[in-house]
Chain A
Amino acid sequence: AQKITQTQPGMFVQEKEAVTLDCTYDTSDPSYGLFWYKQPSSGEMIFLIYQGSYDQQNATEGRYSLNFQKARKSANLVISASQLGDSAMYFCAMIPLSGAGSYQLTFGKGTKLSVIP
């Protein structure tokens, strides 16, 4: 079984500042993938960034970077230079890459990010 924990129900950040959204996970799978999705008020889940458990380097995609600490089982999302359009719900999710269920995404409960002008 897999579990994702996001302990921050809500976060505020000043425009142009950086913010870190926390995510910890629990799994017995030897290899897995970690995702972050953004869900604006329109409802669509937008893929932001992916990290494989076997990847040596932390993933980066533009202003998004994933701070992956395997020993701590954490996969925090860092957003640099926040913009007003970043205000949304953010979900951390994981997927096993082997064995049964190697397609099911397990999501956390999300963090609501509000960017203040």
Chain B
Amino acid sequence: GAGVSQSPRYKVAKRGQDVALRCDPISGHVSLFWYQQALGQGPEFLTYFQNEAQLDKSGLPSDRFFAERPEGSVSTLKIQRTQQEDSAVYLCASSLDRPPYEQYFGPGTRLTVT
């Protein structure tokens, strides 16, 4: 079946612009996660949805970051007034809501802020 898809794959934004990153999880997966992966680092947790409910947004680095999943499937990560430090790969993952809680990742969106 289809895996997790993300769009766009690459995004270049000028500092100060707003961007929106899309994630289509695997059909039927209850849980959805966003991670930020800086160059040369492992992914870091940003936020978690269970269906349409955002249960944890503790990893969002600032109030410029906003995520939503209004119908419990597709999710959008929005970054307002982008800064150079926002440059990273943004990974989306989804999982069934039972152990071992394996998360299936999408290919990521590489965001470059100039």
Contacts and interface: CB of A to CB of B under 8 A. Distances in A.
A107 B108 contact: no
Contacts of B105: 37, 44-46
A104 B42 contact: no
Which 9 A-B residue pairings sit nearest by Cβ, starting from the closest?
A: A107-B42, A45-B105, A44-B107, A43-B108, A50-B100, A104-B45, A107-B43, A33-B100, A109-B42
Interface stretch (A12-20, A65-73, A74-82, A95-103): A95-103
Contacts of A107: 42-44
A35 interface: yes
16 contacts: A33-B99, A35-B102, A44-B105, A45-B93, A93-B42, A95-B101, A97-B99, A101-B56, A103-B95, A103-B101, A105-B45, A107-B42, A109-B41, A109-B42, A110-B41, A110-B42
B106 interface: yes
Contact of B100 (A45, A52, A110): A52
B65 interface: no
B22 interface: no
Interface in B42-97: 42-45, 48, 56, 89, 91, 93, 95
A47 B42 contact: no
Contacts of B108: 43-44
Interface residues of B, number: 26
A2 B45 CA distance: 12
B103 interface: yes
Given A97-B99, A104-B48, A43 B43 contact: no
A43 B107 contact: yes
B99 A103 contact: no
B102 A47 contact: yes
Given A33-B99, A101-B56, 5 more contacts: A44-B107, A47-B102, A52-B100, A91-B42, A97-B99
